[in-house]
Structure 1
Amino acid sequence: MKNQKELVFAILAVIFVLLIINGERIDRTKVDMVKITGFVENNIGDTVLFRASDSTYITTLDTVTGIFSIEFEWDSAAYVSFVQGMESTKMYIKPNDEIQLTINTERFDETIKYTGSDECNYLAWQFLYNEKMEWPNFIDLPLEEVDSTFRSTIEPFVMRAERFQDSNPDFYASILSDYDASIEYIKNRIEALAALPQHGEDAIDFTYPDMDGNEISLSDYVGSFVYVDVWATWCGPCILEIPHLTELEEDYHGKNITFIGISVDRDSVAWKSFVDENAMQGIHLNTGGWQSQLMDDYSINGIPRFMLFDDYSKVVDLDAPRPSSDEIRPLLDSLLRKE
Structure 2
Amino acid sequence: MNTIYSQDYSKYVRIFGKITNPNDEKILIRGGNYKKEIMLNSKGEFSDTLNIKTGYYSFYDFKESTSMYLEPGYNLNITVNTKEFDETIKYSGNGEGPNNFLANYYIFIEQNLIDYSSYQKMSDKEFFEQEKEIFENSISLINRSLIFNKVFLEKQKEIILFDHLRKMINKVGDNYFSVNSNIDIKQYLDKKLEFINFNDSILFESQLSRNFLNSFLSAGLVANNPSCINIYNEVITEKQKKGILRSLKRGISFYNLDHLDDYYSCLIKLIDDEKTLLTIKTKYKRIKSLEKGNISPLFNYADTSGNNISLESFRDKLVYIDVWATWCGPCKEQIPYLKKLEEKYRTKDIVFVSMSIDDPKDAIKWKKMIIDKELKGIQIMADKAWKSSFVLDYVIEGIPRFILIDKNGNIISSNAPRPATFNKGNYLLNEEIQTIFDENL
Alignment CA distance shift 1:224-1:139 (3 Å): closer
For the residue of structure 2 that corresponds to 1:327, the secondary structure is: helix
Q: 5 Å matches for 1:240-259?
A: 240-259=333-352
Pairwise CA distance, 1:255: 2.1
- Work out whether residues 230 and 306 of structure 1, in 8 Å CA contact, stay in contact via their aligned partners in 2: yes
Distance in 2 (CA, whole Å) between partners of 1:292 and 1:241 is 23
Instruction: Identify which of 207, 217, 221 aligns with 2:310.
Output: 217
Q: Deviations over 1:12-44 (max 9, x none)?
A: x49x9xxxxxxxxxxxxxxxxxxxxxx9xxxxx
| Contact in 2 for aligned 1:225/1:308 (Cα 8 Å) | yes
1:273 aligned to which of 347, 362, 368: 368
Change (3 A) 1:270 1:151: same
Conserved? CA contact 2:417–2:433, under 8 Å: yes
Which amino acid in the other structure matches residue 65 of structure 2? Answer: F
Q: CA deviation at 1:157?
A: 9.6
Q: What SS does the corresponding residue of 2:366 show, helix, strand or coil? A: helix
* CA RMSD, Structure 1 to Structure 2 (Å): 4.5
Alignment match, 2:436: 331
Asked if structure 2 preserves the Cα contact closer than 8 Å seen for 1:205 and 1:217, the reply is yes
**Residue aligning to 2:380:** 285
1:107 matched to 2:200: no
Find the residue that maps to 1:285 and give its secondary structure.
Answer: strand
| AA of the residue aligned to 1:108 | S
Instruction: State the alpha-carbon separation in 2 of the partners of residues 4 and 137 from structure 1.
Output: 32
Check conservation: 1:203, 1:314, Cα contact below 8 A: yes
Find the counterpart in structure 2 of residue 9 from structure 1.
24
C-alpha distance in 2 between matches for 1:216 and 1:260: 10
Deviations 1:222-277 (CA, angstroms, capped at 9, x unpaired): 12211111112222221111111111111222321111001111222221111111
Q: Describe the SS at the equivalent of 1:205.
A: coil
- The verdict on how the C-alpha distance between 1:259 and 1:163 changes in structure 2, with shifts beyond 3 A counting, is closer
Matched AA of 1:238: C
Greater relative contact order, per chain length (Cα 8 Å cut-off, separation 6+): 1
1:199 aligns with 2:289: no
Counterpart in 2 of 1:305? 401
Whether the 8 Å CA contact 1:309–1:316 is kept in 2: the answer is yes
Q: Deviations over 1:157-194 (max 9, x none)?
A: 99xx96997xxxxxx86443343344455442871464
Match of 1:176 in 2: 241
1:328 and 1:184 mapped to 2: Cα distance? 29
User: How far is 1:316 from its partner?
Assistant: 1.3
Shift in Å, 1:311 = 1.3
Change (3 A) 1:214 1:328: same
Matched-pair contact (CA < 8 Å) for 1:196–1:298: no
Q: Does residue 154 of structure 1 match 2:111? A: no
Q: Does 1:229 align with 2:317?
A: no
Change in 2 beyond 3 A, CA 1:109/1:175: farther
Paired amino acid for 1:310: D
When structure 1 is superposed on structure 2, of 191-200 and 209-218 the one drifting more is 191-200
Deviation at 1:109, TM superposition (A): 4.4
Supply the distance in 2 between the matched residues of 1:252 and 1:204 (Cα, whole angstroms).
25
Task: Give the drift of 1:280.
Answer: 0.4
Tell me the amino acid that sits aligned with residue 434 of structure 2: R
When normalised by structure 1's length, the TM-score is: 0.52
2:59–2:65 contact (8 Å) kept in structure 1: no
Report deviation, 1:306: 1.2
Post-superposition offset of 1:9: 2.4
Q: Is the 8 A contact 2:294 2:410 kept in 1?
A: yes
- SS of 1:303 mapped into structure 2: coil
Q: Structure 1's 107 and 232: CA in aligned 2 closer, same or farther, altered over 3 A?
A: same
- CA contact 1:210–1:216 (8 Å) conserved in 2: yes
The equivalent residue for 1:98 is none
Distance 1:198 1:262 in 2: 21
Unaligned runs of 5+ in 1: 17-38, 40-100, 112-127, 141-148, 166-171
Structure 1 residues 138 and 254: alpha-carbon distance in aligned structure 2, compared to 1, 3 A threshold: closer
Matched positions, count: 220
Cα distance in structure 2, aligned partners of 1:281 and 1:151: 58
Q: 2:374 aligns to what SS in structure 1?
A: coil
Instruction: Please identify the structure whose Cα radius of gyration is greater.
Output: 2
Q: Which residue does 1:238 correspond to in 2? A: 331
SS of the residue aligned with 2:154? helix
Matched position secondary structure for 1:220: helix
Q: Which moved more, 1:207-216 or 1:173-182?
A: 173-182
Checking the alignment, whether the CA contact within 8 Å between 1:135 and 1:153 is kept in structure 2 is no
Unaligned runs of 5+ in 2: 1-17, 29-36, 38-57, 69-101, 110-133, 141-148, 159-200, 206-236, 252-263, 265-279, 420-428
The letter for the 1-side match of 2:314 is Y
